Amino acid sequence: MKNYKLILQYDGTNYAGWQIQFNAISVQGILQDNISLIINESINLIGAGRTDSGVHALGQTANFRTEKVLDLYRFKHSLNSIIPRDIAVKSIVEVGEDFHSRYDAVKRSYIYLISKGKSPFYDKYSWWYHGPLNCDKLNSLSEYLIGEKNFTAFSRKASETENKFCHIHNIRWKDWMGHLIFYVEADRYLHGMVRTIVGTLLHALKLNLNIDYLSSVINSKDRESAGEAVPAKGLFLYKVKY
């Protein structure tokens, strides 16, 4: 049995997220159907992260197993030629049969892009924030979230998993060409967690709240205590590390 690992990029605007869903178009569904068509064999495409509706990816990782020996150059070319223009296969390599793109991942990183002003070129891929932005203050607040914590307050109430502990390894904000970029790297994430973290930090900035506010949100384990989640269109799955 052969096992192939893909690195993917996609614009999530027109999709109901990565994961296959009933009566909805998903990135996983489009890719899985077209891979099966090319190799004439039903496959199960496994993704490293379940990006939500409207969320994009710069470095999604996926893998599938097949009995076929593929010409990787021809396969990549064929797949890219038939999938929609808003999905792209950047690379494909053969990996060990035991490799699992989701369970073997040790760190996943996301970025969130905020525009400081209106731009038709960034409208689909960033959120225009109407208010002052202080990068130093945001970085100071964000440091409190580093480490292993219970992020129940930052997840959707209908979150599927019972384990709400996540370990954030790195988190920071950076000014860049009229934008503010939020970066976070963690071992795992809860449903809606990144967008809620961004919204909560911006809420703290707006009201000049300090780390005590973030501490109270964490300790409350109550979604209502955190800030409003920011729109999906500014969020990108950046990289998956193994």
Q: What is the pLDDT of residue 160?
A: 66
Q: What is the pLDDT of residue 158?
A: 63
> Where a domain ends, among 38, 65, 95?
95
Q: Do residues 87 and 120 both lie within one domain?
A: no
Range of the domain at 34: 2-95
Phi first, then psi, for residue 191 (nearest 5°) are -60, 120
Q: What is the pLDDT of residue 159?
A: 64
Residue 102 lies in a domain: no
Q: Do residues 148 and 77 both lie within one domain?
A: no
8 A C-beta contact, residue 113 and residue 233: no
> Where a domain ends, among 39, 73, 95?
95
- Tell me the catalytic residues: 52
Residue 159 lies in a domain: yes
CATH of the domain at 119: 3.30.70.660
At a CB cut-off of 8 Å and minimum separation 6, what does 74 contact? none
Q: What string of pLDDT tens digits covers the 242 residues of the chain?
A: 999 999 999 999 999 999 999 899 999 999 999 999 999 999 999 999 999 999 999 999 999 999 999 999 999 999 999 999 999 999 999 999 999 999 999 999 999 999 999 989 999 999 999 989 999 999 999 999 999 999 999 998 766 678 899 999 999 999 998 899 999 999 999 999 999 999 999 999 999 999 999 999 999 999 999 999 999 999 999 999 99
Q: Do residues 140 and 182 both lie within one domain?
A: yes
Helices 27-39 & 72-82 angle (0-180, nearest 10): 130
Q: Do residues 142 and 86 both lie within one domain?
A: no
CA distances 14 to 6, 58, 77, 124, 236, Å, are: 21, 16, 23, 11, 15
Q: Do residues 89 and 116 both lie within one domain?
A: no
Residue 132 lies in a domain: yes
Q: Do residues 115 and 233 both lie within one domain?
A: yes
> Where a domain ends, among 95, 130, 164?
95
CA distances 205 to 20, 134, 158, 173, Å, are: 37, 8, 28, 13
When divided into structural domains, the chain yields a total of 2
**CA–CA gap between residue 239 and residue 135 (Å, rounded):** 23
Q: Do residues 167 and 58 both lie within one domain?
A: no
Q: Do residues 91 and 132 both lie within one domain?
A: no
CATH of the domain at 10: 3.30.70.580
Q: What is the pLDDT of residue 150?
A: 96
**CA–CA gap between residue 142 and residue 134 (Å, rounded):** 12
SS3 string, the chain, reads CEEEEEEEEECHHHCCCCCCECCECCHHHHHHHHHHHHHCCCCCCEECCCCCCCCEEEEEEEEEEECCCCCHHHHHHHHHHHCCCCEEEEEEEEECCCCCCCCCCCEEEEEEEEECCCCCCCCCCCEECCCCCCHHHHHHHHHHHCEEEECHHHCCCCCCCCCCEEEEEEEEEEEECCEEEEEEEECCCCCCHHHHHHHHHHHHHHCCCCHHHHHHHHHHCCHHHCCCCCCHHHEEEEEEEC
**CA–CA gap between residue 172 and residue 236 (Å, rounded):** 15
**CA–CA gap between residue 140 and residue 161 (Å, rounded):** 30
Q: Do residues 133 and 217 both lie within one domain?
A: yes
Q: Do residues 112 and 224 both lie within one domain?
A: yes
pTM for the model stands at 0.94
Q: Do residues 77 and 111 both lie within one domain?
A: no
**CA–CA gap between residue 225 and residue 129 (Å, rounded):** 21
Q: Do residues 116 and 88 both lie within one domain?
A: no
